[in-house]
Structure 1
Amino acid sequence: MAEAHQAVAFQFTVSPEGVDLRLSHAALKQVYLAGLRSWKKKITRLRNSLVTGMFPASPASWLVMAAAILASQASRLDPSMGLIGKITEHLPARWGGHGGRGQGWGPARAGLGALAFATLLWLGLVVTMRGALRALLCYHGWMGEEHGRPSHATKCWLALVKIFAGRRPMLYSYQASLPRLPVPPIRDTVQRYLESMRPLLSDSHFQHTAALGRDFEHSLGPRLQWYLTLKSWWATNYVSDWWEEYVYLRGRGPLMVNSNYYAMDFLYVTPTPLQAARAGNVVHALLLYRRLLNREQIKPLMIQGTLPMCSAQYERMFNTTRVPGVEADSLQHRQDSRHIAVFHAGRFFRVGLYHGGQLLGPRELQAQFQRILDDPVPPAPGEETLAALTAGPREPWARARQTYFGSGRNQESLRAVERAAFFLTLDTTEQGLLGPEPGRALDRYAKALLHGQCHDRWFDKSFTLIVFRNGKIGLNAEHSWADAPIMGHLWEYTLATDVFQLGYGVDGHCKGELDPSIPPPQKLQWEIPEEVIQGSLRAAQALADDVDFHTFAFKDFGKGLIKKCRTSPDSFIQLALQLAHFRDKGKFCLTYEAAMTRLFREGRTETVRSCSIESCNFVRAMTDSAQSAAQRLALFRVAAAKHQTLYRRAMMGAGIDRHLFCLYVVSKYLGVDSPFLREVLSEPWGLSTSQTPIQQLELFDLKNHPDYISCGGGFGPVDNNGYGVSYIIIGEDLITFHVSCKFSSTETDAHRFGANIRTALLDLRALFNLPLK
């Protein structure tokens, strides 16, 4: 048993002759190296904090300023207009060497005065530059201008931003300069809400809702708004903490399907068929990203290469677990973790990531994973389905955790899982474009990543890496700590590093040397009655079995052709989804599209209500044979422009739903009831959509290697009778869709909706009379 051979730092025995103490030099060396690495990380964090704290200035700029002031002093010039002299007068007399006040200042004392002045002047410039950058970043008028044709005012503004933005920023350099998310006026929010609901409600229902809105706007609303405005002045972001707590951590339903989401591997390429080798390369790539993250060497995401976006969500990417609670969960984040937790064939293992003070290389990690694959030890009773506790409802898992994981082996093993850098599943199935029906194979692949067997992923971890038996990979991510673009950034780096940086030998194995002295993986031990798990497992399996998934690649055209239509690709696809949904169900529905608010500090998401009066007018025209192509095209352009406006408002913090959500939270704290807010928060999202952005195109050569990019990811349906749609625009000629719904609904069918999406996209192309490639 691997766990029986763990090294100890020393051994001793007591005998009549005394105490026989035998030190293990190898173990002591590992202790020393671990401590050395820990101190290096602390020093790195301290250095990063200092550099980030003085950005957009730098230590070099202080040296230049200090040298300039000292040089001017030596030349008998006084750039301070007497301030250096006044500063020097207040320095202790003994700092000047021999002289006191009456005998003049010593050279050392005068030099210290000059340095003090230089430092104060430098700090003043730092504060001024930060304040100027923050004021500049509050301007969002550029969003309303045509892409590629900025006004002269915007060009001047961009030039000023570049001047004050500094050079070579670190990941968190711009955090203190980002503006706070503004609280929209209640009148604007209510008006925009009613406008979004007009095409979805009957005349009588709309009049009732409008009356509730007007009453709220003039009675309870201003009182709630006052508290919300106060919070916006005090807190960094008036939405994010409540959004994390009430939308995610207080949810008592299963995370699997309902909250967690997934990301896929390359669509057409599998770099190696060897499971352990692919796991070795990918795990090493993830750890290289973690190293960059710890050193803050990841470039902050910039719009148009100039405007910084908030990086706060990156902080909890690794070493993070969602811990279940009876009433609410919590997020447990550790500064560092030296191991990962691995699941294979019903067994859990702890795999160390360092040896001799160095990160294990891909070939060494491959050997560790191969040991697990070759280990014949069967799972202990209850171990095989243990992770189903994380897949089921939260309260039973929280109570089981309190009862069975508070001490002994269970506690130690649970700590090993929850304190791991991340979770790895060496899956026993094969996935990808396999078999005679590749389309159906992609559906199975999506379901395998979203829920698997319901007991072979640890859904509480920040993310679970899944490596299938044939070398295909994917991940399942927990949603509360960050949004999908953050994981997307990590996933892009991982895929590119795996193939283009690390690579594989001709035999499919990882490259590099193998150190045979590395301790083997440690099998975790559990003692838990199987009946404790069965309730969660049944609930999770019922949920997983009800999910209908359809993943498909749309190859007829892509972003390249859409650009010729002189409209944004996102607006084009969103209008196609509206048309497809109307044909699918014969009605319109409340539509959710996620937009980022990361132009503001600690911003997360806002809702774009894509179903608008303008989009409905266009869809009706497309289904009305009496309408000409020219009339339909005109209505399309109006609807696309409206969607662009809605998207810009969301990014600028002028959306509807986060404001109303926070007003609702305030009303609950005050113990007051609002029929208007109650109605707003009870409306179902019949169509929930999200685009997966590609953020690091420089990592991929799509021209020479068009197949080497992820086909995106997806999520489960938000409403029992609705659809979930995720899409990714890959290169110029490919769009991949991930459609989900529930088998139990008589209104939905994922494959039928997928067919309607294809038809809608082709019909929109025909409006512009553009040939297919």
Structure 2
Amino acid sequence: MAEAHQAVAFQFTITPEGIDLQLSYQALNQIYLSGVRSWKKRVSRLRNRVIKGVYPASPSSWLFVVIAILATMYMRSDPSMGLITKIQQHLPLRYTETQEPLYTMLSVLVFSTLLWLSLILALRFCLKLLLSYHQWMFEQHGRVSNTTKVWVTLLRLLSSRKPLLYSYQTSLPILPVPAIKETLSRYLESVRPLLTDPGYKRMTELANQFESNLGNRLQRYLKLKALWATNYVSDWWEEYIYLRSRGPIMVNSNYYGMDFLYVTPTALQAARAGNTITALLLYRRKVNREELKPSRVPGTVIPLCAAQCERMFNTTRTPGVETDVLQHWQDSEFVAVYHKGRFFRLWVYTAGRLLSPREIEHQIQRILDDPSPPQPGEEKLGALTAGDRVPWSQMRKQYFSSGINKRSLDSIERAAFFVTLDDEEQGMRGEDPAGNLDRYAKSILHGKCYDRWFDKSFSIVIYKNGKSGLNAEHSWADAPTVAHLWEFTLATDAFQLGYSEDGHCKGEVDRSLPLPQRLVWDIPSEVQTLVCSSLAVAQALADDVDCHVFPFRDFGKGRIKKLKISPDAFIQISLQLAYYRDRGGFCLTYEASMTRLFREGRTETVRSCSNESCAFVKCDLVLQEAEQCRHLFRLASERHQNLYRMAMTGAGIDRHLFCLYVVSKYLGVDSPFLKEVLSEPWRLSTSQTPVQQMELFDLKNYPDFISLGGGFGPVADDGYGVSYIIVGEDMINFHVSSKYSCSQTVSKTSENRKIMLFLTSYSISNSLAYFH
């Protein structure tokens, strides 16, 4: 309620004796403190710009260069080889002989600064060259070449200073454009196990025709973009894959993250909300101050691009007729809260300070205790973000562009993030823990289709029994970035902020805090009609989605790594075996890999269904000779690891072909080859949720505080969406989604809907058996 305090900061009345001026010192003090906080932020951002602008050097190194130059000048040696004298002669100032030492000093400062900037550019260039070296990734474990050893030493030397979050951004290499011949060759190899001989021959002819005619022309345009743009893929990927989609983003695009599997830190809804909101805001503070350590390739000093963190908070996706737009605000001092059909704006700062967890709990409890009913049309307003984008865009422009509706909508869209206080209980509980876990996943993925704001960068869900969850919009960032945020939030909530013995947040409460502000709406009948229509579309989509969460506890990466096999490759090959047992054939398989070794990199596709993995599956089902299967499994694992490495180092297939297709559309030319490639359905879409901050979780002393990870909806109507997280050494959590409407994905009844996971479990165990 900062605007209310400012409105009464001063009052005056005119009396016969003159003007009576009354000041509210408390309000003025809050205004002053808010201003101080704002200026501190500006100073901090300016300081960070300077520090990361000179990285890998430091601002203090300038003084070292100046002193070194002055010392050599004092010893009557000119390290500038006459440049200092020339600088002095060209200074646009006149001076006398008595002032000459002063101007000599000024010339030294100018020369030292130029020398210092040149050294910084040289160091940056060297760092960029070092980060462009990727051969280390293709070397066998334990057989490191001398070149790689020297490279690691040099990289450690240049990265010895403690970097800020964005310190490496300008030193990261640019994503290269692969040679079109190599991309087409790798594509044909990837589809070979999926096509008959005549089909493969036809596809080969299409590829050759494309390469000899249109392909090289499109490639030239793409190389031109790569020279001009920071990343030749990311902006088109964001726009055409996400923002231009006109269908619902709920289920189809948004994904979810879950709470701890076995424990709930507190059963009090308001208390859990208090700590969760505090932890998220502490993370935002670290992002703003760039105090987070840059993400790195696990087990190495190699940095990953941090550009996706920039739009994590204060961001929303606004609908448009042809394309949506991502809007980001610099900072927000409030969050938007939804409870029982009502929207609230909750200020999380007062007098320039962040509210304590106990104070936020107090404010949340006020919302929970508020008995006021929803305004007409308010309860299900969020369904507009769950339905088709074009109607939402039209309604937004017509009815939410002015007046109280605009002010209320701005309060949601400009909020740091969105919070839903759900009136249901969720989690692995009761007499049917497995079934409740599945319902928990569905609830976070889509809820009631109107009690989430799916356009926000992310929404937090706090359930009645204290369980929590996260729903994230996909266009601004990929799952590893959100997973990093969610890991920090869970760990900070449980292990740093903590709770009192009675389950409340810790700290004191300032009970004079203003009430959370109810958002006011004027929803006409036309909007209410569209809300019902959008809700019907979203509800049909939500009802068709089947989610199953499966904690696999037989073994984990510990036993797999003892066999000297990549755990990810092991799981992917097992999924191929499970799919073949389920469907009797192979399919185009998508595994998400990241390209964040490059500046503004996002994802690339690993086509996990390879000739080698198919050979193993057929051997397992037909020959079942242990030695032969073991050999084929190792070949398939090595092939998968190589495909993953190639995707990470910019030699993938799908993003290159996608960008060639975009160029062809801009030029107004059709390519039968590209059209067929991009229309192929991904019936098995998979992704691993990385565990990036294990140092935050003490699993030895608190073994029950393990994460469930998260999941997403199926990409194809007749396919599966499979997400998995490798937790610790002895557990793998799976999230599998499919559609009830497709009989082929065995989602018709509650009895056979777990067949895919059973086959996955069986296949993983069966794969391991070959090595005993």
Q: By the TM > 0.5 criterion, same fold? A: yes
Q: Deviations over 1:36-71 (max 9, x none)?
A: 222221121111111111111111111111112222
1:532 Cα deviation after fit: 2.6
Structure 1 equivalent of residue 452 of structure 2: 457
Q: Deviations over 1:420-474 (max 9, x none)?
A: 0000001101111111111111101100100001011100000001110111111
Structure 1 equivalent of residue 540 of structure 2: 542
Partners of 2:764 and 2:6 lie apart in 1 by 60
Partner SS state of residue 759, structure 1 = helix
Structure 1 equivalent of residue 749 of structure 2: none
Structure 2 equivalent of residue 708 of structure 1: 705
| Alignment partner of 1:280 is 2:283 | no
TM-score, length-scaled by structure 2: 0.97
Partners of 1:6 and 1:168 lie apart in 2 by 42
Match of 1:744 among 726, 741, 745: 741
Partner SS state of residue 689, structure 1 = strand
Kindly report which structure 2 residues correspond to 1:372-771, keeping only aligned pairs within 5 A, or say none: 372-528=367-523, 529=525, 530-624=528-622, 626-749=623-746, 750-769=753-772
Q: Does the CA contact (< 8 Å) of 2:271 and 2:505 recur in 1?
A: yes
Q: Deviations over 1:511-552 (max 9, x none)?
A: 111111211100111121322310000001110000011101
| Alignment partner of 1:56 is 2:51 | no
1:16 Cα deviation after fit: 7.9
Partner SS state of residue 595, structure 1 = strand
Q: Does the CA contact (< 8 Å) of 1:9 and 1:24 recur in 2?
A: yes
Q: Deviations over 1:635-681 (max 9, x none)?
A: 00111111011101100110000000000000000000000000001
Structure 2 equivalent of residue 243 of structure 1: 237
Structure 2 equivalent of residue 178 of structure 1: 172
| Alignment partner of 1:305 is 2:320 | no
Worse overlay, 592-601 or 156-165? 156-165
Distance 1:14 1:290, change over 3 A: same
Provide the aligned C-alpha RMSD in A. 1.7
Which residue identity is paired with 2:73?
Q
1:403 Cα deviation after fit: 1.8
- Give unmatched runs, 5+ long, in structure 2: 747-752
1:210 Cα deviation after fit: 1.0
Worse overlay, 366-375 or 513-522? 513-522
| Alignment partner of 1:46 is 2:46 | yes
Structure 2 equivalent of residue 78 of structure 1: 78
Partners of 1:287 and 1:416 lie apart in 2 by 17
Which residue identity is paired with 1:150?
V
Match of 2:228 among 193, 214, 234: 234
Partner SS state of residue 566, structure 1 = coil
Which residue identity is paired with 2:754?
H
Match of 1:324 among 319, 324, 330: 319
Worse overlay, 50-59 or 659-668? 50-59
Q: Does the CA contact (< 8 Å) of 1:426 and 1:467 recur in 2?
A: yes
- Give unmatched runs, 5+ long, in structure 1: none
Partners of 2:177 and 2:17 lie apart in 1 by 78
Partners of 1:68 and 1:240 lie apart in 2 by 44
1:87 Cα deviation after fit: 2.1
1:20 Cα deviation after fit: 5.4
Match of 1:126 among 114, 120, 126: 120
1:199 Cα deviation after fit: 0.8
Structure 1 equivalent of residue 202 of structure 2: 208
Q: Deviations over 1:592-646 (max 9, x none)?
A: 000000000000000000001111111011111x341000001001111110111
Partner SS state of residue 387, structure 1 = helix
Q: Deviations over 1:391-425 (max 9, x none)?
A: 11111111111121122211110000000000000
Q: Does the CA contact (< 8 Å) of 2:5 and 2:27 recur in 1?
A: no
Partners of 2:402 and 2:770 lie apart in 1 by 67
Q: Does the CA contact (< 8 Å) of 1:2 and 1:523 recur in 2?
A: no
Which residue identity is paired with 1:679?
E
Q: Does the CA contact (< 8 Å) of 1:3 and 1:523 recur in 2?
A: no
Structure 2 equivalent of residue 188 of structure 1: 182
Q: Does the CA contact (< 8 Å) of 1:550 and 1:738 recur in 2?
A: yes
Worse overlay, 40-49 or 606-615? 40-49
Q: Deviations over 1:362-401 (max 9, x none)?
A: 0000000000000000111111101010011111111111
Q: Does the CA contact (< 8 Å) of 1:2 and 1:521 recur in 2?
A: no
Q: Percent identity?
A: 64
Partners of 2:416 and 2:762 lie apart in 1 by 44
1:482 Cα deviation after fit: 0.4
Partners of 1:353 and 1:7 lie apart in 2 by 19
Pairs aligned (count): 762
1:120 Cα deviation after fit: 1.4
1:21 Cα deviation after fit: 4.8
Which residue identity is paired with 2:367?
I
Q: Does the CA contact (< 8 Å) of 1:324 and 1:330 recur in 2?
A: yes
Distance 1:222 1:380, change over 3 A: same
Partner SS state of residue 29, structure 1 = helix
Q: Does the CA contact (< 8 Å) of 2:335 and 2:347 recur in 1?
A: yes
Partners of 2:3 and 2:309 lie apart in 1 by 34
Structure 2 equivalent of residue 314 of structure 1: 309
Partners of 1:240 and 1:282 lie apart in 2 by 31
1:128 Cα deviation after fit: 0.5
Partners of 2:207 and 2:495 lie apart in 1 by 56
Partners of 2:188 and 2:16 lie apart in 1 by 89
Structure 2 equivalent of residue 261 of structure 1: 255
| Alignment partner of 1:37 is 2:43 | no
1:75 Cα deviation after fit: 3.2
| Alignment partner of 1:296 is 2:290 | yes
